Amino acid sequence: MPDSLGYQLKRYREKKHFTQAEVIERSGLDRSSSYISSLETNKTSPTLEELEALAVIYGTTVFDILSEAKGITPNWDFTPNADIRLLLNFYESLNTERRKIALEFIQFLAEKQKMEKYLADKDKAV
């Protein structure tokens, strides 16, 4: 049986051992700590931007939070590991320009690794 969004947000907060005030401080939300209480008791709903900020500090994704709240189990051909989910979570928290920079950096690292492997294989052949 799925739990409410508020219950899931409270569960994530308690799992990190954060107070409601710490959540506001760490997330950068321009709200009072009573706002977190109203989210956790389903008196109000977060915006998507607020949910993304909460997911970042809780080390998860908006998809995971909503899936758990709605009792949805994705039927994917693969299950993303914790590193992939965390990477996606960080990526989703970036603005458009920084997302572009992040993708370029990852592409640079992949190309650098490929070149290093090529040079190492070439040295072995000599």
List the single range of 11-15, 88-92, 101-105 with lowest mean pLDDT.
88-92
- Residue 41 is predicted with a pLDDT of 95
Q: Each residue of 16-30: pLDDT tens digit?
A: 999 999 999 999 899
- Would you kindly state where each structural domain of the chain is located, as residue ranges? 5-70, 96-125
- Residue 88 is predicted with a pLDDT of 85
Q: Which pair of structure tokens corresponds to residue 63?
A: 């998809």
Q: Which pair of structure tokens corresponds to residue 11?
A: 């569960």
Q: What secondary structure letter does DSSP report for 4?
A: P
Fold classification of 5-70 (topology level): 434 Repressor (Amino-terminal Domain) (1.10.260)
Under 8 Å CB-to-CB from 71, ≥6 apart: which residues?
A: 1, 2
Inter-residue long-range contacts of 77-81, CB under 8 Å, 24+ positions, other chains counted: none
Judge contact between 89 and 59, C-beta under 8 A.
Answer: yes
- Residue 34 is predicted with a pLDDT of 94
Measured distance CA(33)–CA(72) in Å, rounded: 29
CA proximity to 36, closest of 60, 2, 12, 15: 12
To the question of pTM greater than 0.75 for the whole model, the response is no
DSSP-derived 3-state class of residue 16 = coil
Sign of CA dihedral 98, 104, 106, 108: negative
